[in-house]
Structures are given as structure tokens and as C-alpha cells.
Amino acid sequence: MLYATLKVLITSVLVIAVSEAARRSSVLGALLASLPLVSVLAFIWLYVETGDSDKIASLAHGIFWLVLPSLVLFLALPFLLRHGMGFYPSLGLSIALTAGAYLLMTFALGRFGIAL
């Protein structure tokens, strides 16, 4: 239980640090948010829990392929906001478009025989 609490605390501090940094500087916030810190933490937690390097490699492989469709969010959100759509509708539509991109990517990867 203590280990799970530690994981939650460290991960929460990371998210709060990014949002606080973004309030002060959008460039610093973007830099921190763009770093694969969550992925690195996931690698660490998974390795500590399992000691299985193959699981880490599989996770890294999956993250690589699924980062690509996640970029739709970062293209759609600023586009919609700059064209007058409100924040919450822009965010919702951007998330929906990103979900669609994930579906397309998983379909395409399956068609090319790439397993996640």
C-alpha cells in the first residue's frame, strides 16, 4: 500500500509541476509536458514491480506507435481555439479526433502485422 501511495504522490507532483510551470511560462510548461516523464516513470514502476526487461521493451514499442496519433490533439486543439471555438468544446472535439486517430492507427498497425 505504501508503494502505491508513493507512486501516486510522485506522479501527482509531476502533473502539478507541469501545470505550475505552464502558468509562469508556456515554453517551460510545454518543455516539461513534452518530456516523456510519465513513460519513464511507467518504465521504472514496471521494472521495480516485475524486473522484466521484455515488458519494458514491449511498453516502449507500444508507446512509440501510439505517440503518433496522440499528436492529433496538439494540432486540433490550438487550431480550434484560434478559430473561435470555446475551450471545452475544442478540448472535447480534439479528444474525439485523437480517439479516432488511435483507432485508425491500431487498425493500420494490425494490417501491417505490427503488434502492440
Q: Where are the domains of the chain?
A: 52-116
Query: Model confidence over 14-64: pLDDT tens digits?
Result: 889 888 988 999 898 888 888 898 899 899 999 999 999 999 999 999 999
Cβ neighbour number for residue 7 with a 10 Å cutoff: 16
Q: Tell me what pLDDT residue 87 has.
A: 98
Q: Is the pLDDT of residue 10 over 90?
A: no
> Residue 20 corresponds to which amino acid?
E
Higher-confidence position of 3 and 51: 51
Q: Is the pLDDT of residue 116 over 90?
A: no
Average pLDDT score, the chain? 93
Phi-psi group of 26: left, alpha or beta (phi > 0 → left; psi -120 to 50 → alpha; rest → beta): alpha
Q: Is the pLDDT of residue 90 over 90?
A: yes
